[in-house]
Amino acid sequence: MERNTHGFGRRPLAGWALPLALAIAGSAQAADLAELQESGSIRVAVANEAPYGYLDDDGQGQGPGPEVARHVLGELGIDDIEWVVAPFGELIPGLEEDRFDMAAAEMAIRPERCRRVLFSAPNTSYGEGLLVRAANPLEIDGYADFAERDDIRVAVLAGATQVDIMATLGVPDERMVTIDDNAAAIDTLLDDAADAYAGTGLTVSQLDARSAEVEVVQNFEDPKIDGEIVRSWGAFAFPEGATALRDAFDEVLLDYRNTQAWEDTLTDNGFTQDDVINAFRFDARWLCGPPR
């Protein structure tokens, strides 16, 4: 999951940003930076979504989220990472309830999320896409089709940016089918429970490679809100009380983003040069919008 934009001059849309700090008392005590450094260990959550953040066959975190987190945390003296898998929609509740200490899922920065968790500086930037049945029999071209046509339904990941994008575009709830994880998208289409799956461009490309019975919409029409192309900025998320951890993490991350190693991590995971360049476009405070 917002109104994140692509190459324009306005603040990204309804929901796609974060004030670096908005503070509302959390329901659990956030991990203390000094305690984490003393123990050398931390619990880091992923949503098991390739390429953003997932576990390999050895149970180790992979993707730009986990790989960058591993480097940054190592620089902070925290080398023992306990990887935790949680459904995307449970990442923020899990942080609030102290089930893990941070999330490395490239969660899009959105103002409403900023009111519940702290975000790091952006680590990635990515656009949108659509997955449909092979040959696109219903001739679906973009997100706006679901607002304009009453004969098609779109699957969306629970808690993801696409839910808000669809709502903002005027797609009624009855044309949205919620699924709990990206892995269910292909079966959802093949079982005729939905006619397309809306996700980031990287996500739908990954799903396309898994089955010859689905495909990415060709000549996809990028969704626009207020005339601006929707784009998301992914970041690391921390509990509200973890300001010291987030700030220390940011200090290392901002330096690391200027290295070839960081850029290679993104491009090796399928991000384009345009994605890499856009990652620098906004900071977290700007994306979150003014404090409320």
Domains and CATH numbers, the chain: 33-126+232-288 (3.40.190.10), 128-221 (3.40.190.10)
Tokens standing for residue 27: 């329901």
In this prediction, residue 291 has a pLDDT band, given cuts at 50, 70 and 90, of confident
The pLDDT score that the predictor gives to residue 1 is 35
The pLDDT score that the predictor gives to residue 269 is 95
The kind and range of the H/E element at 117 are strand 117-119
Residue type (1 letter), 203: T
In this prediction, residue 219 has a pLDDT band, given cuts at 50, 70 and 90, of confident
87-102 confidence digits (pLDDT tens): 999 999 999 999 999 9
Mean predicted confidence (pLDDT) in 25-52: 86
In this prediction, residue 268 has a pLDDT band, given cuts at 50, 70 and 90, of very high
Mean predicted confidence (pLDDT) in 147-162: 96
Instruction: Tell me the whole-structure pTM to 2 decimals.
Output: 0.84
Asked if residue 224 has pLDDT above 70, the reply is: yes
Asked if residue 193 has pLDDT above 90, the reply is: yes
The pLDDT score that the predictor gives to residue 292 is 60
What is the torsional sign of CA 268, 61, 126, 248? Answer: negative
Mean predicted confidence (pLDDT) in 37-64: 97
In this prediction, residue 5 has a pLDDT band, given cuts at 50, 70 and 90, of very low
Residue type (1 letter), 91: L
> Nearest 5°: CA angle at 169, between 168 and 172?
85
Angle between helices 260-268 and 64-75 (to 10 degrees): 150
Residue type (1 letter), 39: S
CA dihedral 182, 123, 34, 81 (to 10 degrees): 40
Question: DSSP assignment, residue 104?
Answer: E
Comparing 21-25, 101-105, 172-176, 266-270, the range with the smallest average pLDDT is: 21-25
- What mean pLDDT value characterizes the chain? 90
The candidate with the shortest Cα–Cα distance to 233, out of 197, 263, 276, 262, is: 276
95-124 confidence digits (pLDDT tens): 999 999 999 999 999 999 999 999 999 999
The pLDDT score that the predictor gives to residue 30 is 72
